A and B are shown apart, each in its own frame.
Chain A
Amino acid sequence: MDFENAKAQMRKGVLEFCILSILSKGDAYATDILNKLKESQLIVVEGTLYPLLSRQKNSGLLSYRWEESTQGPPRKYYALTEKGSEVLKELESSWRELIDAVDSILKK
């Protein structure tokens, strides 16, 4: 079932890209990010998000701060770091290259 693994890896790569992209539009806490990812059906179970966020935070792409909430537990707001926005720019350009490349093969 290597195919399943390939699909999972592809989805994971795209997810990391999308998380950075969502955060580039403004700081957000996990549930905001989740709602956006769910809207576009990129994520099936919520648990998938947390290991990705932790990894991005540890590689210096994200930072976070705590904010109190009136409705529930305190919220961890994530923000893009400088390194994060650089990585996002790179990802964006390689994403377009990839789409063009795949498209040109599919159309042949």
Chain B
Amino acid sequence: MKKTFSVNLGNRVYNIDEDAYLKLSAYLERIEGHFSDLKEREDIINDIELRISELFTERLGVNKQVVTLVDVDEVIRIMGDPHEIGGSQEEEPRNTWERRSGTKRIYRDPDDRMIGGVCSGLAAYTNIDPVIMRLIFVVLLFMGIGALAYIILWIVVPEARTTAQKLEMRGDSVNASNIGNFFRDEFENVKKSFRRRKS
């Protein structure tokens, strides 16, 4: 037995399995992210949803009333991943929007912090496990310089507030598909922690 959702795509209602639903909505979010810099975005998304709706209709019938993960995978293959689709403004004046591609900057990490997020931020910058970074600071604390160093860093290093800054903190380039991936990861995290709390 599987749980299903009912969704409205192009003004038609479809029953869709939970896993298929999650995959499809993540895909549509990525598409939306891909075209986020275009003023025609809404039109394009509507057209794409309409086409997906049509593809679902072709796959459903009396003997098959639910959209499954296999259907969604196939539809995504037909429609194409954002990088295959192209057509967003980002790829025309190349490298203008991706100006900070791959550069890494030190930020404090507000999502993984014990005190001010200094250690996890430094850990992201140096690719060291945050726990080890914290241990280093504990050792420094006993040597008498840890507290002062920490406070200075807390003041000097900015906090990563926006998605772009969080990507920069990890050294990912700031472009639409990375932002899309970032949100997908975040969404998965929220889902996991929600499940954990329920059980």
**Residues on A facing B (Cβ under 8 Å):** 5, 8, 12, 30-31, 44-48, 50-55, 57-58, 71-74, 76
- Contact: B86 with A12, CB < 8 Å? yes
B115 within 8 A of partner (CB): no
How many B residues touch the partner, as a band?
A: 20 to 34
Q: How many A-B residue pairs have CB under 8 A?
A: 77
Out of B9, B10, B78, name the residue touching A46 (CB < 8 Å).
B78
- Contact: B87 with A48, CB < 8 Å? yes
- Contact: B43 with A72, CB < 8 Å? no
The docked-state distance in angstroms from the alpha carbon of A50 to that of B10 is: 15
Stretch at the interface among B48-56, B124-132, B134-142, B165-173: B48-56
Q: In the complex where A51-B35, A51-B88, A73-B10 touch, is A45 in contact with B47 (Cβ < 8 A)? A: no
Contacts of A44 in B (CB 8 A): 80, 84
Interface of A, helix, strand, loop or mixed by DSSP? helix
**Residues on B facing A (Cβ under 8 Å):** 9-12, 31, 35, 38-40, 43-44, 47-48, 50-51, 53-54, 57-58, 78-82, 84-88, 91, 94
The docked-state distance in angstroms from the alpha carbon of A12 to that of B85 is: 11
Out of A51, A55, A57, name the residue touching B85 (CB < 8 Å).
A51
Out of B9, B12, B40, B84, name the residue touching A51 (CB < 8 Å).
B40
Among all A-B residue pairs, the 8 with the closest Cβ atoms: A45-B80, A51-B87, A73-B10, A54-B40, A47-B85, A72-B57, A47-B80, A50-B47
Q: In the complex where A53-B47, A73-B10, A76-B47 touch, is A45 in contact with B53 (Cβ < 8 A)? A: no
Question: Could you list 7 A-B pairs, sorted by A, with CB under 8 Å?
Answer: A31-B51, A47-B85, A50-B43, A50-B51, A54-B40, A72-B12, A73-B11
Q: In the complex where A51-B35, A72-B12 touch, is A46 in contact with B51 (Cβ < 8 A)? A: yes
- Contact: B47 with A31, CB < 8 Å? no
The docked-state distance in angstroms from the alpha carbon of A70 to that of B86 is: 32
Contacts of B82 in A (CB 8 A): 47
Closest to B40 in A: A54
- Contact: B80 with A48, CB < 8 Å? yes
The docked-state distance in angstroms from the alpha carbon of A18 to that of B83 is: 22
Q: In the complex where A45-B85, A48-B87 touch, is A73 in contact with B31 (Cβ < 8 A)? A: no
Closest to A38 in B: B78
